[in-house]
Structure 1
Amino acid sequence: MATDPNRLFLRKSLDSVRRDSSETGLRRHLGPIQLVLLGIGCIIGAGVYVMTGTAAANYAGPAVVLSFGIAGLACAFTGLCYAELSSVLPVSGASYTYAYAALGEVFAWALGWMLMLEFGLAGAALAVGFSGYLQSLLADFGITIPAMLAAPTLQSEMGPDGLMFEAGASINLLALISLGVASLILVRGIAHSAAVNTLLVVIKLGVLLGFVAVGSRHIDTANLTPFIPANEGGFRYGVPGIFRAASVLFFAYLGFEAVATAASEARKPQRDVPIGILGALFVSTLVYAAVAFVMTGLVSYRTLNVADPIAIAVEAIGMPVFAMAIKIGALTGLGSVLLVNTYGQSRICLAMASDRLIPGRFAALHARFATPAFGTFVLAGISGLAAALLPITLLADLVSIGTAFVFVVVAISVMWLRTRHPDLPRPFRVPLGGIWVRGIWIGTVPVLAILLCLTMMGPVLADIFSKAIHGEWIPMAILLIYIVIGILIYALYGSRHSRARAEAL
């Protein structure tokens, strides 16, 4: 059956979007504090516990603090866009649904598919980090996990042309298991998960603040000099390295997006979701910057290219018991963000299945717990395989690409909805205003969000292309294969079963 090009851009009506929100069967019981904690639970994870060390060692040195600031600024502008959209359309599916209403089906599909990449591989990266800290903690008790069960099949090493990859005879079994446990918890329902997440957030924030308080008294200023190491070519240190590190750390801020996906379960979504998004971003950025500064002040940044950089830093203090407490806190933090990330991914899948762009089985709710159990288990299984096979450096780069793409589309959606529906009630509006150009509203905040997100995506894509030119084709191949699979699924299934198209006939 041929596809009508005009229907590729078929939009969902705003009334339809709101009706879908009321028909999901999900209960509205999340308040603003729970949403802030939900966001913090997802934001503060691999970025601070794992990727800070990699970003500092390979790209930015002590200036990784600036990298967090750059990435956080980009997410702040994007967060404001999310806040406006969620106040207008408080629905499950968040940015996917926003794009469907503003830009049309083909953009919604592309964004939804990239969201699956973003959440799926972020979950894998978090699971890899969880595995690393668990191995370190077990080693403190004299328990060693066999190497063939403790590392991904594909491993990375820094070479003359940047990070290179080599396959080995190993699999990260602990990472795979951790994703399985997260999916089991979530299938029991968000009410149970929100309670668990609240406890985990309180614990991990306390541990991180303890690390900052104790570690700040043992900082060696020599480790912070030079603050911006001289560039050694490409994206290794210097100003290019700061932006490359920011692109690595970018994905750790996707937690506020999980808050938007929970809009259909918020008691007062127009008020509570913006509070949840901006509150979570503010708190998390402060924590990130403080931890990164103390970490690079305790030890040389060149020693931090490990799976457990905070553990390496705290051991330099000479307090073994405190070091063990930090590792436990890291496991708690990674566990909480893994829980929230898996939740967000399942809700995106639920929204796409409800629109019949993917099989309806993914929208089926569990008879007892009223949660999308099938989709949760399938997605967790795929993420688990990625965690078992791929190194965290590669996972982080791919997630950053997906995240930046999604954020750009969200910012465009804000401007397009303002253009098409300028009188629509908006309990929250992005600040700083905008201008009208030939009937199109161009907002200051959305434009800044787009520019900063492209700045995040650029270094990653440049690095991937550079690797391909020098014979390291794996990152490029994974990205292209994923895009092709998405195109085929939409062409062969989504475009033929779309609910919006059926209703338009």
Structure 2
Amino acid sequence: MADPLSQKSYWRWSKQDFLPEESFQSWNNYASALSQTWCRFKDRLMSRSDAAAETTELRRQSENDMKRCLTWWDLIWFGFGTVVGAGIFVLTGEEAHDTVGPAIVLSYGVSGFSAMLSVFCYTEFAVEVPVAGGSFAYLRIELGDFAAFIAAGNILLESIVGTAAVSRSWTSYFTSLLNKPENSLRIKTGLKDGYNLLDPIVVVVLAITSAIAISSTRKTSYFNWIASAVHTLVIIFVIFSGIFIADTSNLTPFLPFGAKGIFQAAAIVYFTYAGFDSVATMAEETKNPSTDIPIGLIGSMSIIIVIYCLMALTLSMMQNYKDIDTDAAFSAAFQSVGMKWAKYVVAFGALKGMTTVLLVGHI
């Protein structure tokens, strides 16, 4: 008996492969379909999918079944890799200096709690509907095709803009690691300021991470383990070195901007928790989604919350909040205590973090 989900080669060139819908089989069919556009659009506005269609019928239509090769251990590291990037190194200093002071640690706790609530929602959906569609599939079931279409557009826009921002930052941190001016590796053109710097290094980085992600999920997981492990070592260095040279007097006053500052900063640093939803899209490649997805999502987010709070507390104890450098908080803090070489460790850690964010984002 033939496997209904048996894989077929993607190297096919017939019209039926590219335009399988009945409306594209002839000009008469196409004209008839156009005349029904408005009616079909109204039907789409009200139509909803169900779990059976998402998990069975659509997978059969895709003619490809993903290999289940991931465990909860892989998902924890994927979650860590896609969330922990350069945000913690950039936003912590800005918000501690301008908005909340030493209480930035509480802001990370508040935003982490909010992120964990979202994680619970994603966990429930991913267990009930273990497909690669993620938010798009969940919304098709709960709110219908139109809401899912709008959400998919927003997610795609977020992914493109986020990848562009992280990629540009990658080059900046790379030049910092080489101790060169920020734009020394970019090519200047005659275009308007702000649009006149081409970044060939970004193209190379994106090509490499895309190639690794395309090769296989298993290989990507191995690479992510290594990169995330290196990043973890850098974070451990920052935390323990910072605590060793810390001065608790820098925590006073703890709330210079009042309680309002905690929540204002929490709204900003919530961005540092973005990306955990990528783990939910790996449900089709997970060996046992009902147990691995909850452990992977909740486990990775719990670890990240603890790390973020410790890093924020460390920075607050290393320097008075008024003296924190808003551009390179951790690097400047280490330089202020005579550890100038540590800025290269911080830059390397941020670089590795952004690399894993780009890598996991391509999956």
**TM > 0.5:** yes
Q: Say if 1:220 and 1:21 are closer, same or farther in 2 by CA, change over 3 A.
A: farther
Cα deviation for residue 222 of structure 1 reads 4.3
Bigger Rg, structure 1 or 2: 2
Cα deviation for residue 145 of structure 1 reads 4.7
Q: Is the contact made by 1:59 and 1:245 (CA closer than 8 Å) also made in structure 2?
A: yes
Cα deviation for residue 38 of structure 1 reads 0.4
For 2:141, the equivalent position in structure 1 comes to 101
Q: Equivalences for 1:198-277 in 2 at 5 Å?
A: 198-230=225-257, 238-277=258-297
Cα distance in structure 2, aligned partners of 1:294 and 1:312: 13
Q: Say if 1:220 and 1:71 are closer, same or farther in 2 by CA, change over 3 A.
A: same
Cα distance in structure 2, aligned partners of 1:316 and 1:279: 35
Unaligned runs of 5+ in 2: 1-36
Q: Deviations for 1:316-356, whole angstroms, at most 9, x for unmatched residues?
A: 3323444423322221122112211232xxxxxxxxxxxxx
Cα distance in structure 2, aligned partners of 1:182 and 1:268: 27
Cα distance in structure 2, aligned partners of 1:45 and 1:82: 21
The partner residue of 2:197 within 167, 171, 181 is 171
Cα distance in structure 2, aligned partners of 1:91 and 1:333: 27
Establish whether residue 75 from structure 1 lines up as the match of residue 130 from structure 2.
Answer: no
Establish whether residue 333 from structure 1 lines up as the match of residue 353 from structure 2.
Answer: yes
Q: Deviations for 1:391-439, whole angstroms, at most 9, x for unmatched residues?
A: xxxxxxxxxxxxxxxxxxxxxxxxxxxxxxxxxxxxxxxxxxxxxxxxx
Q: Name the amino acid aligned to 2:53.
A: S
- Note the aligned Cα RMSD (angstroms): 2.6
Cα distance in structure 1, aligned partners of 2:334 and 2:274: 27
Cα distance in structure 2, aligned partners of 1:297 and 1:243: 21
Percentage identity across paired residues of the two chains:
29
Q: Equivalences for 1:409-420 in 2 at 5 Å?
A: none
Establish whether residue 2 from structure 1 lines up as the match of residue 38 from structure 2.
Answer: yes
Q: Is the contact made by 2:108 and 2:269 (CA closer than 8 Å) also made in structure 1?
A: yes
For 1:114, the equivalent position in structure 2 comes to 154
For 1:297, the equivalent position in structure 2 comes to 317
The partner residue of 1:18 within 50, 55, 66 is 55
Cα distance in structure 2, aligned partners of 1:223 and 1:124: 36
Q: Say if 1:150 and 1:72 are closer, same or farther in 2 by CA, change over 3 A.
A: farther
Q: Name the amino acid aligned to 2:186.
A: L
Q: Is the contact made by 2:175 and 2:185 (CA closer than 8 Å) also made in structure 1?
A: no
Establish whether residue 197 from structure 1 lines up as the match of residue 237 from structure 2.
Answer: no
Cα distance in structure 1, aligned partners of 2:196 and 2:334: 29
Q: Is the contact made by 2:331 and 2:342 (CA closer than 8 Å) also made in structure 1?
A: no
Task: Please state whether the residue corresponding to 1:11 is helix, strand or coil.
Answer: coil
Task: Please state whether the residue corresponding to 2:287 is helix, strand or coil.
Answer: coil
Q: Say if 1:145 and 1:74 are closer, same or farther in 2 by CA, change over 3 A.
A: closer
Q: Is the contact made by 1:123 and 1:342 (CA closer than 8 Å) also made in structure 2?
A: no
Q: Deviations for 1:271-330, whole angstroms, at most 9, x for unmatched residues?
A: 111111000100000000001111122234453321x43222222332344442332222
Q: Is the contact made by 1:128 and 1:172 (CA closer than 8 Å) also made in structure 2?
A: no
TM-score, reference length from structure 2:
0.80
Cα distance in structure 2, aligned partners of 1:219 and 1:244: 26
Cα distance in structure 1, aligned partners of 2:50 and 2:138: 11
Q: Say if 1:125 and 1:314 are closer, same or farther in 2 by CA, change over 3 A.
A: farther
Q: Say if 1:176 and 1:310 are closer, same or farther in 2 by CA, change over 3 A.
A: farther
Cα distance in structure 1, aligned partners of 2:246 and 2:181: 31
Q: Deviations for 1:162-215, whole angstroms, at most 9, x for unmatched residues?
A: xxxx96465372555533432232222222211100111111112101211111
TM-score, reference length from structure 1:
0.58
Cα distance in structure 2, aligned partners of 1:149 and 1:314: 28
Q: Is the contact made by 1:131 and 1:150 (CA closer than 8 Å) also made in structure 2?
A: no
Cα distance in structure 2, aligned partners of 1:68 and 1:276: 21
Higher RCO, 1 or 2 (CA under 8 Å, sep at least 6)?
2
Count of residues paired in the alignment: 319
Cα distance in structure 2, aligned partners of 1:331 and 1:295: 19
Q: Is the contact made by 1:32 and 1:273 (CA closer than 8 Å) also made in structure 2?
A: yes
Cα distance in structure 1, aligned partners of 2:297 and 2:97: 30
Q: Say if 1:102 and 1:242 are closer, same or farther in 2 by CA, change over 3 A.
A: same
Q: Name the amino acid aligned to 1:2.
A: W
For 1:182, the equivalent position in structure 2 comes to 209
Q: Name the amino acid aligned to 1:286.
A: V
Q: Is the contact made by 1:256 and 1:276 (CA closer than 8 Å) also made in structure 2?
A: no
